[in-house]
Structure formats: C-alpha cells, structure tokens
Amino acid sequence: MSRTAAALAFSLLPGLALSQGPGLAFLTKFAPGVVPSAGTQVLGLDARRKTALIASYAPEIWPTPTIGVQYYLRSFEGLPLERIPLEQIRPRVATSFGSGFENLHLAADGRSVLVNASDTSTLSGAYYVYNRDTKTFTPVISQSHPFTPLEVIGGTTIIGWRQNPGGGFNTPTVRLDLATGEQTVITSETYGKLSPDGKYLFNVYPPDFGNPAGYLNLFNVAAGKIRKVNLPGMIASGLPYGWFTPDRRTLYYLRGTSLEDAKIVKLDPFNLKETVYEIPAEIRAMLNYDVSSSFADGFGDRLIVGQKVWTLSTGGVVPLFANGGQGWSFAKGYFLTAATVLVDTDVPLIDGDMNNASDPVTGTAGGAIWRPIVGPRSGTRTTKFSIISPDDRYVVTAYNPVGNEAGGQPVGFVRKDLQTGTVTNLPGRATAPDGMMLSDGGRKALLLTGNPVHLVYRDLDTGAETPIDLGGRATYHFGFSPAGEAVVVRRQTDTLPTSAFLWTPSGVSEVPLPAGTTDVHRVSVAGGRLVVGVSGAEERFMLGTITGTGWKPLAPAPNSAAEEPALTRDGATVSLFSRNSNNAYYTRLFRSSDAKLLKTIPYAGTISGDGAWLMPTIYGSNEPYYIATGATAVDVPARAEGGGVEAVGPWRLPTPNGFIKGSPLPMAYRPTVFRNPQLRLVSLGSTAGGVVSVNVAVTKAGLENSSHTIRYRFDGGDWQTSTMDFFHTSLPEGLHTLELYAEDAQGRRSATLVQSVYADATAPVITDIRHEISGRTATLRATCPAERSYSPTVEFGFSRNGGNYSWTRANGSSPDWARDYTGLTRGVVYTYRVRATDLAGNQTISPEFTFTLP
C-alpha cells in the first residue's frame, strides 16, 4: 500500500474524519489557480488529551459563509468537529494569523473555552467562557476587584488573579463564580499553574539567595496549606524553571552544575517519587542550543524534545516522524497516548498535501503513516478587503475562494445585504485588485490595480470590466460617486500638465481644474459636487461642480496635506479633517452651496453619507461622533443587557480603512448606544484604616454628552451623591452592604448594584518571632495568622552589620512562616525584623532582633 493510500485509509477511520460531519461537504475538486490552504494550527490540548483546540485559515472544513480564521474543537473520542461561534459575542474577533491565537484557551477539563475579547470594548469586559454542552457564551463579570482569569473549572468557576485594592506587589489568587461574579480569595500568593480540577496550585521557583536548591510550592486549596518541595541541584536556566505535563501529575527539571553535565529529573509532586535519567548526547545537543523551547510534551516513560522522541528508561531516541524534513522546519508534537502523537508541522507528511503551512496530523511516534485531523482542503477564504456602499446598504468583500465557488478563479467576491443579511456570491477574477470603490447598491465598482495605479470599472453582477485608460498616463488620484461616476486625475508629464477627467460608462470629458493648479492630492465626488486638494501658489481644498465650474476655496489659509475631504451622498456638505500646529486633529464642516464654514469639531473624522455622523479615521477615536449633540456611540455588540442597547447610525467596518482580514461574517456592524446608563464596578475594597474605596465606570445612554452622578449608600442608610467615579468613605470594622446606581442629566438610571465589602482597620498580628541556627544557616520564623479567608503577605528583613534591610517574601502559610539564609559568616552581627501586610494595606512591623553565629 502506498503512503497516499494508507493515509486515505486511516483518514476514514470512525471518529477521525467521518465524525467531522459537515466538514465532508467541502471535499471538492481542486480549482485551477487556487492557492493552497493556509492550513490549521494546534493551540492546545485538554489535560485528558481527548480534545484539541485548533485555529484554521481554511474554513472550508465548515459549510458556512465564514471568511478568515476560525476556531474549532477536534475530539479524539468520535465527536463531530465543533466550530466555536465567536460571532455570537461580538461583531469581530482578533483574527491575525499567529498573533490572535493566544486569545483562546481550552480548559484543562476540556468542557469549556476561555475567550479573551479585549481587542474591542464590550459591556461585560474582556473575557467570555464558551460552554461546549450548551453552545453558549457567558461573560466573565467581576463584581468587585479587577480580575484576570487563569483557568476555567467545570464550566462554572474560574481561578485567576485579582488586583490588590490596598496596593502593594502581591496579586491574590482567587476563585470567581461565573454566575454571580463573586470572588473568594484562595490565597494571597500569586500562582501560575493549577490542577485540572482546581484543587491544587503550583509555583516553581528557581535557585536564588536563600534558596540555592530551587523549590516547588504546592498549595492545597481545601486545606489552605502549602507544601514546599525542594528541588536540589536545579539548573535555573532549564525548561525554564521546571516543566509540567498537562495533567500536572509530573514535573521535569534539569539537575547539575551546567547543561553539559545535567541530568533530567522526573518528579511526582504529590508522592514525591523522583527518577533521575541520563541525557543522551543528541538530546543534550538540542538543550545546549535552546533549552527553553526544546521540550514539547511528556507521557509516561517518553518525552518529545524538539523533533525527537526520547524513551527515558532505555535512552532510545527516534525522530518524531520518519518521513519529511527535520531540523529547521517547524514541528511540535503532543502525545495522545504513549504511542500516538499529534504533530503540528509545516512538513508535508502526506503525499499530495497542498497545504503550505501548519497542518496537524496524527500517527505513531516515529512512524511514516499520518492522517489529518480535519478534512482535505483546497483553498482559504482569506479576505483581501471589504467596502461598504455609499447608500449604507451593502458590503462587498474580495477574498480567496474555496474550491470552485468563484468559478475556478483565484479571487472571489461576495455581497452582503446589511438589512436582510443575504449573502450573494459574485463572479470571480483572475487577479486580486489592490482596492475598490463602490456605487450605490454595491453593484458597480471602481477597481484599483498595479503600481502606478490603473483603474477598472467592473459590473460586479456580471463580472464585465472596462479599463479606464486616459491616454496611457498613470492615474494619480480619483473619486467614485454614489451614482457610478469616476473623476480621474492624470499625473503631470514633461509636456502635459496635471489634468482631470469625468468618466462614465457612456463617455469621458475633461474637468477644468481651478486656475493655477499644478498638482492634485485629494479627490471626493458625490451629488454633482467635486472637492479637490490642489497645489499651486498655495495648497488648499477647492469645491466645485463635477463638470469643473464654480470653484470656491474651502478655507482662506493653506491646509495641511493630512486633510481628507468627504462629501455627503447628496453633495450638500463636505468635511475636512486636519492637524493644527499643536498636533491636535480637528474636522471642519462646510456647506457646499456657498463653501461656508458651518462648524469646527475637535475630532478626526469623515462625514457619513447621511450627514449625521463623523466616522473614525486612523488618527483618532474608534467611536463614531454624532454631530448634533457631540456625543460618541460605543462599540459593543447589540444585545439585550442592563436596559438593552440599540444600533444607531451608519454601518461600519472593524477598522477605519475598511481592511478586515480574517474577520468572520457579519463583515460590518452598526454603532450602538445604551438605552440607560451602564454602571460597572471597577474595584471595591478596603484600604488601610477601614477606608472603603469604590471605583466605577459609567457608559452614557443615548447620544447625549450629559453629566452623571453616582448615588450610593451603605447598610440601608441615607443615599449619598458623588460627582466622581472614584470615591471613598471610612466605615467601622466589619462587613457592610453597598448599593449604588448611576443617573444622568435626563433622569435615566442604571440598574442598582449590590455588593458586600469588608472594612478592615486591623493590622496583622505577628508573634513568636525567633531564629534557629544550624551550621552556617539561619532559619527565621514567625507566627502570623490568617484574617478571615486569606493570609497576609509576610516578609523578613535581613541586615548585616547594621546595613540596609533586604526584604524577602517568607515561605509557608498562615500561621507559620519561615525563611532560610545560608552561607552566613561567624563574627558578623545579623539583624532581622518581620513585616506583615494584609490585603487592605494594614501593616505591622516587628522590633529588631539580632544574632551571631556561635
């Protein structure tokens, strides 16, 4: 059997390909000229090694009109391929291939996916949890302190870090209830790893002063206790600082004096069983080259090191795959079982594989027969650009098609009706244009091709094209009106001046430019009006008719070359944005009938087709500006929450220049406003002395820039008013209930938030301070109990011969704390003291204690 036949046979095994369900619909014939797929990339496995999170620029494995990178869950238990519908939570997602993939994290238990949506503002914050069972997203809402998720447990609980409201450098590890947003402090320490069930937290510390061996802290969440496990001989530069398997049941680290003589230690952090292995020469060579990235995965008695599979007990080393290149090519392996691996590589391991980038496959470690984890692909729907029609009704996208869907052409077009959502496939094209302008209805287009620029008029419904060739001279600037008229400026030559022409499908005529014009640097045309930026005796913008008559200057003084003109669809108003001498951007609005200046707005924008909005540019805000009231709309998905939101204004593309590479449908969205003010609690907590600090954020309702106030009360008392979003008050020691809401000048109120907060005025208590000496090592000890549910931060200050104190975090957990200091010298007077700080910032510092070595 050939490799191709073997690969095909394996790819049709139940649970590996047929279980993909709808993906098989895209087993299409290769289209001539279609570029190879950009392939897929593995983002991670769950701890059970039963599900992989993958990203793909080849969405033809899923039969939906998606464009750009998509995210999938690939089961190795026979479940269908599952697409993560990110479009449910926001109109766009971070989709840059390679840079946006870290925004999704598969939970260790495989039941959910944590999504970081921080590239756009949302009502509920940056994070969501996708539940695989219900196929729904839940926003991660923290009712008190700012919160950074680390891992989702059981789909209902998140463990992560929160900001310490009392200041300081410690970031407590907390548990957050996904349904209520309530936080519970697990420990005042910051932990970076945890077991899949959330019962244990882990930190590995490299050797340093006071801890020459390096050590592992294992925190038992239920018991609230830390076990410190010394890692003798640990090399600080290795792995780096120790490396866990996904189930957190095994820790590997390097032991020795250097990489040249190091051995690898395999440690069970729970029963402390360790096994030490000699490192084969070819593995050691890889460590010497790049120790921090050499290790990929471990399972039982085997390790994947770079592109090698190492059996620890025998010392045997085999290639990760027997076929294909090795060395400089990209490849990363994951164990699914002790013998089966998932390989993410750009090496073509399957005959006939057309994909030219990461393409995950499964097979036997060291083998030559591989099967893909997704169906065959013949293209990639990577977008080129998207443009909205002037009537604000359609968006047209140019993209790389899949299979034969663009009639076998390498470039396809789709048009979406933004009111109905209907998507229409349009005839394809042999080459991709560099840009495009649309007329009303999205049916006629002006295509930009080549350098210097050449223009082509295209009927998008039929695919018929007409080149706009005006004497063979290079095009300089151009405009395309909603009615489908093109104004084209030809570049000056040695014998011919700069000139402009009005082009329509029925003919062409020259447009006389303003007297004294030597150059043209901007063009806008609509409603029979024409705006050009001209150079001559001075640079300025001139407004006239589309036939080149009635020229009037839009400003008496020279304008910055950064200005960009825009006309409303009816040509009645023109906008110009510019930058003044202080580098501040502003926009001026003019009446087209007489070029009268109507308004100057401190905002860099271009006027919308209906004349009601300034739309964002790359020089300023990302939120559209409502001209009538001077307010901006917020950029959030339109979904009902907290009084609801509603779409307003014209449709937008995710970026001002219309480039949405990789964005899924819908390819455009409308700005939104809230029907009521939205109040979000940014932080709430006690600072030192029982002072409770409240920090909120308010998003205005409607399109008014009105003021707002915060109304609040504690424990059912009298309502108080704050005109600031940050305020504080002193309360007696104990638990209190805070109620608060926001109210704007129109009397609209947000929902009332209710939150409990503990006012902490009591400093930690430090007792039983002592030292123990053994040889040249001193162990400093102190007792400091926990307050309520969390431990204070305990530090030892250490000084030699009256020098400055060096403060170091203590080891242990409440109430017992300790720190070892080694390599001490006889005859030196050592001084120490203890400092304890609680989460509120209350602090206790002990008196000084001294000792000398006997």
Which tens digit of pLDDT belongs to each residue from 39-61? 678 888 999 999 999 887 654 44
User: Is it the case that residue 444 has pLDDT exceeding 60?
Assistant: yes
User: In sequence order, what are the beta bridge partners of 566?
Assistant: 575
Q: 737 and 776 in one domain?
A: no
Q: Tell me the C-alpha distance between 601 and 711, whole Å.
A: 33
The reply to whether 777 falls in a domain is yes
User: Is it the case that residue 250 has pLDDT exceeding 90?
Assistant: yes
Tokens standing for 550? Answer: 């009635």
Contact indicator for 632, 374 with CB cutoff of 8 Å: no
Average pLDDT of the residues of the chain: 80
Q: Tell me the C-alpha distance between 262 and 241, whole Å.
A: 14
The reply to whether 202 falls in a domain is no
320-357 tens-digit pLDDT: 888 655 555 677 889 999 899 998 877 777 665 544 44
Q: 737 and 684 in one domain?
A: yes
Domain count, the chain: 2
Last residue within a domain, chosen from 705, 734, 759: 759
The reply to whether 828 falls in a domain is yes
Q: Which CATH number covers residue 806?
A: 2.60.40.10
**Dihedral angle over CA of 123, 125, 129, 130, nearest 10:** 40
Last residue within a domain, chosen from 726, 759, 792: 759
Specify the pLDDT at position 61: 41
Tokens standing for 835? Answer: 């400092």
Q: 779 and 739 in one domain?
A: no
User: Is it the case that residue 745 has pLDDT exceeding 70?
Assistant: yes
User: Is it the case that residue 851 has pLDDT exceeding 90?
Assistant: yes
Specify the pLDDT at position 796: 95
Q: DSSP state, 78?
A: S
Specify the pLDDT at position 358: 57
State percent of the chain over pLDDT 90: 37
Q: 824 and 840 in one domain?
A: yes
The reply to whether 839 falls in a domain is yes
Confidence of residue 21 (pLDDT cuts 50, 70, 90): very low
Q: Which residues contact 255 (CB under 8 A, 6 or more apart)?
A: 231, 232, 233, 234, 235, 262, 263, 264, 265, 276
The H or E element that residue 850 is part of is strand 849-851
Q: DSSP state, 558?
A: -
Tokens standing for 353? Answer: 């594989």
Q: Tell me the C-alpha distance between 708 and 698, whole Å.
A: 8
141-179 tens-digit pLDDT: 765 566 788 999 999 999 998 765 544 456 789 898 888
Specify the pLDDT at position 122: 37
197-242 tens-digit pLDDT: 999 999 988 887 556 778 899 999 998 888 989 998 888 764 556 7
Contact indicator for 752, 739 with CB cutoff of 8 Å: yes
Confidence of residue 651 (pLDDT cuts 50, 70, 90): confident
Q: DSSP state, 9?
A: H
Last residue within a domain, chosen from 759, 785, 816: 759
Q: Tell me the C-alpha distance between 200 and 202, whole Å.
A: 7
Average of pLDDT values for 20-48? 51
Bigger pLDDT: 321 vs 6: 321
Confidence of residue 80 (pLDDT cuts 50, 70, 90): confident
Q: 793 and 752 in one domain?
A: no
Q: 837 and 772 in one domain?
A: yes
For residue 122, what are the CA distances in angstroms to 102, 125, 635, 654, 737?
A: 19, 5, 7, 14, 27
The reply to whether 632 falls in a domain is no
717 burial class (0-12, 13-18, 19+ CB within 10 angstroms)?
exposed
Specify the pLDDT at position 39: 63
Tokens standing for 305? Answer: 């090191």
pTM score above 0.85: no
- Cβ count near 776 (within 10 Å): 12
Bigger pLDDT: 452 vs 84: 84
Instruction: Report the length, in residues, of the chain.
Output: 854
Average of pLDDT values for 503-530? 91
Q: 785 and 730 in one domain?
A: no
User: Is it the case that residue 427 has pLDDT exceeding 90?
Assistant: yes
The reply to whether 661 falls in a domain is no
Q: 755 and 691 in one domain?
A: yes
Q: Give the 3-state secondary structure of residue 20.
A: helix
Q: 845 and 772 in one domain?
A: yes
Contact indicator for 42, 52 with CB cutoff of 8 Å: yes
Tokens standing for 417? Answer: 């009706």
798-836 tens-digit pLDDT: 998 888 899 988 887 788 899 999 889 998 999 999 999
Q: 773 and 708 in one domain?
A: no
Specify the pLDDT at position 549: 95
Domain span at 715: 678-759
User: Is it the case that residue 22 has pLDDT exceeding 70?
Assistant: no
The reply to whether 248 falls in a domain is no
User: In sequence order, what are the beta bridge partners of 821?
Assistant: 778
DSSP 338-388: SSEEEEEESS--STT----S---EEEETT-S-EEESS--------EEEEEE
Specify the pLDDT at position 171: 79
The reply to whether 140 falls in a domain is no
What is the bridge-based pairing of β-strands 302-305 and 308-311?
A: antiparallel
**Lowest-pLDDT range of 471-480, 615-624, 781-790:** 471-480
Least Cα distance to 721 among 729, 711, 730, 713 occurs for 711
Contact indicator for 275, 223 with CB cutoff of 8 Å: no
Confidence of residue 24 (pLDDT cuts 50, 70, 90): very low
Placement of tokens 């289209």 in the chain: 31
For residue 644, what are the CA distances in angstroms to 48, 86, 541, 569, 639?
A: 40, 20, 43, 31, 6
Specify the pLDDT at position 550: 95
Specify the pLDDT at position 811: 83
**Lowest-pLDDT range of 24-38, 138-152, 254-268:** 24-38
Least Cα distance to 749 among 703, 710, 704 occurs for 710
Q: Determine the longest span between alpha carbons in the chain, in angstroms.
A: 105
Bigger pLDDT: 242 vs 99: 242
Find the distance separating the first CA and the last CA of the chain, reported in whole Å: 79
Contact indicator for 174, 150 with CB cutoff of 8 Å: no
356-404 tens-digit pLDDT: 445 788 889 888 888 878 765 544 566 777 889 999 999 888 887 766 7
Cis peptide before 240 (omega within 30 of 0): yes
666 burial class (0-12, 13-18, 19+ CB within 10 angstroms)?
middle
Contact indicator for 580, 555 with CB cutoff of 8 Å: no
